[in-house]
Structure 1
Amino acid sequence: MKQNFTVRQGALDGVEAFLSVAQHRSFRRAATELAVTPSAISQAVRALEARLGAVLFIRTTRSVGLTEAGERFLARARPAFEELVAASGAARELGQKPAGLLRLTVPRSVVPILLEPLIASFCKAYPEIEVELAASEELLDLAAGGFDAGIRMGQFINPDMVAVRLTKPFPFAIVGSPDYLARRGRPKRPDDLRDHACLRLRRSNGGLAPWSLNDNGRSIDLAVSGSFIGHDFPTLVGAAIEGVGLAQVPAPLVTGAVREKKLVRVLESFATTTPGVFLYYPGHRQIMPKLRAFIDHVKSQPGAVR
């Protein structure tokens, strides 16, 4: 059963004054330590006692001692207050310098071609920052998942996000292995794809992604068919290299395979272009130094898009 829990306004008022008096056994020395008047310390302690419904100090003209209630309160309040002070210091430190855990949600396809060299150099430059990459094709909620930022192709980023460009726009390439094309022939027009085994992508929402083409400025979405379905682009690339069928994937992902003649691009004149890959994060909150350091590092790399 869910319990109702509220923090009463001013619940911590007077605790620091109490701890200082308990330490020094003096209202005057506590006032000096906290840079307030003895009267202010006395009022804070009386207000705390009133809220607790218990007397915490035994006061005489010459000494200050703790009651049994005061001893019990001190035993629990001092470590808790010290932990709050430590927590405040830790939070303040993370807000002032690049440190802590930087969590990024990214698609698998961008890790080898974009992030591996970038993350390696970033970790060397900022040893006090831990980097966690959650490779997933799902469009995760950054706040709900506890992520500082995400990386996605521009068309999938919500307009309320701040986006930092990581790559220039690039085409989607349709590729097949030389062996597959020798067996099935090379398509010349989009309609020819009906006679080919087309590798399909299952989106995180469960639907199958159509193939998008550009016919003289006219956008075409084709519901292709084939015997193989993957959940990410690297899987489709691997299947295409093995000759399972044609795949439509981001061109940078197959640059090496095309150069090594493991894959051949087809229907290049019908290729569509994506806006590119972006780092994105919520725009309504202050950027933590760890994320600012990562953004600045990205922009400082040779060949970075500015």
Structure 2
Amino acid sequence: MHRTGLTELEVILAVAHRQSFRAAARELGMSATAVSNAVAGLESRLKVRLFNRSTRSVALTPAGQRYVERIAPALAEIQRASEEIMAEPDSPSGTLRINAPQESVSLLFEPLIQPYLLRYPQMRLDITSESRMVDIVAEGYDAGIRLAESVPQDMIAVPLTGDLKMLIVATPEYFARHGKPQTPDDLLTHRSIGMRMSHGGLYHWELERHQQKLTVNVPPRIVLNEMRAIHRAALSGVGLAFISDGFVREDLAAGRLESVMEAWCPAFGGLRLYYPGRRHVPPGLRAFIDLAHELRALANKPSSG
């Protein structure tokens, strides 16, 4: 029976996640040659190819996918056990791996992610931003971040934000030229900033008022697939944007953007951190959860003035 070192398993997971030998080498602090040799050595002992390689890409083979799905949870558990033994209760160390949509990382960086890094200098955050839903256990993540409605039912969820709301916004100059829409039908005479979904389709605006739900396809002037880019396009005056209020609160307060038809824009469950219901939560994740609770309580505390 062959015995495989943990380093080789870490290499396999890093290459699988990054889809690149060089990127995996940078993540692990190894040379690209050492990473390539580790993969080749394990493939030789297992007598199976784990990755298909070309000059442009690296992708798991079907056998490699099955192998990664089996070893990722086990390796993550071993790493967590080591971190728990080594960590002091008030000063966790190690790596916290989170899978999250890119937009949520932007919204949470200043209010949560940056304070976490400042408070726990021995912790390292490894955040993978992607729109697709992943099995965080199978792919070796400690936690995920998604909207409340998307959190798997078998996971423990921790609120990171209050309810969010999609708003219809544009610059005052745009509204001065084109007028302000008052009804869903009015939207069809305007130009919009469209959003391309991860599956390739164009997002249709979902409106609701008095239990009446409508889906509106506002003609796009430009189509983008990332919320920050949509935000910038809205500020440039390209057209109407349908965007989360978390991105535009400061712009609305400063008068750079204006919102319309808010009665048609209902609130929905905000962002949630979620993780498996294990008996022992890794110290780094526990610290992240505790800080999220602390900062939300401070934000919701009534001002004394």
Structure-2 residue corresponding to 1:95: 84
Write the letter of the residue equivalent to 2:153.
P
SS in 2 for 1:258: helix
Shift in Å at residue 136 of structure 1? 3.0
Match of 1:196 among 173, 178, 190: 190
Structure-1 residue corresponding to 2:30: none
Deviations 1:199-240 (A, max 9, x none): 221111222222111121222222332121111211111111
SS in 1 for 2:167: strand
Deviations 1:57-98 (A, max 9, x none): xxxxxxxxxxxxxxxxxxxxxxxxxxxxxxx99764412433
> Superposed, which structure 2 residues align to 1:257-296 within 5 Å?
257-283=251-277, 286-296=280-290
SS in 1 for 2:192: coil
Q: Does 1:113 align with 2:113?
A: no
Match of 1:303 among 284, 298, 301: 298
SS in 1 for 2:298: coil
Q: Kindly tell me: are residues 129 and 278 of structure 1, through their superposed partners in 2, closer, same or farther at Cα, counting changes over 3 Å?
A: same
Separation in 2 of the partners of 1:270 and 1:89? 49
Separation in 2 of the partners of 1:141 and 1:182? 47
Alignment check: 8 A CA contact 2:80 2:282 kept: no
Alignment check: 8 A CA contact 1:161 1:281 kept: yes
Alignment check: 8 A CA contact 1:137 1:232 kept: no
Which deviates the most, 293-302 or 247-256? 293-302
Separation in 2 of the partners of 1:189 and 1:214? 11
> Superposed, which structure 2 residues align to 1:149-160 within 5 Å?
149-160=143-154
Write the letter of the residue equivalent to 1:276.
G
* Fraction of identical pairs, as percent: 33
Structure-2 residue corresponding to 1:168: 162
Separation in 1 of the partners of 2:94 and 2:109? 19
What stretches of structure 2 of length at least 5 have no aligned partner? 4-76
Structure-1 residue corresponding to 2:11: none
Which deviates the most, 137-146 or 119-128? 137-146
Q: Kindly tell me: are residues 93 and 143 of structure 1, through their superposed partners in 2, closer, same or farther at Cα, counting changes over 3 Å?
A: closer
Q: Does 1:247 align with 2:236?
A: no
Structure-2 residue corresponding to 1:234: 228
Structure-2 residue corresponding to 1:44: none
Separation in 2 of the partners of 1:91 and 1:236? 38
Q: Which protein is bigger by CA-based radius of gyration?
A: 1
Alignment check: 8 A CA contact 2:209 2:266 kept: no
> Superposed, which structure 2 residues align to 1:50-65 within 5 Å?
none
Alignment check: 8 A CA contact 1:173 1:249 kept: yes
Shift in Å at residue 305 of structure 1? 6.7
Alignment check: 8 A CA contact 1:167 1:305 kept: no
Alignment check: 8 A CA contact 1:108 1:234 kept: no
Provide the TM-score with structure 1 as the length reference: 0.66
Deviations 1:4-26 (A, max 9, x none): x777xxxxxxxxxxxxxxxxxxx
Separation in 1 of the partners of 2:217 and 2:254? 30
Provide the TM-score with structure 2 as the length reference: 0.66
Q: Kindly tell me: are residues 90 and 275 of structure 1, through their superposed partners in 2, closer, same or farther at Cα, counting changes over 3 Å?
A: closer
Deviations 1:111-136 (A, max 9, x none): 34322242222223222211122233
Separation in 2 of the partners of 1:304 and 1:164? 16
Separation in 2 of the partners of 1:125 and 1:94? 17
Q: CA RMSD in A?
A: 2.5
Alignment check: 8 A CA contact 1:109 1:253 kept: no
Shift in Å at residue 144 of structure 1? 4.3
Shift in Å at residue 106 of structure 1? 2.5
Write the letter of the residue equivalent to 1:191.
D
Write the letter of the residue equivalent to 1:223.
N
SS in 1 for 2:152: coil
Separation in 2 of the partners of 1:155 and 1:200? 23
Shift in Å at residue 283 of structure 1? 3.1
Aligned length: 222
Structure-2 residue corresponding to 1:134: 128
Alignment check: 8 A CA contact 2:188 2:217 kept: no
SS in 2 for 1:195: coil
Structure-2 residue corresponding to 1:75: none
Separation in 1 of the partners of 2:79 and 2:163? 40
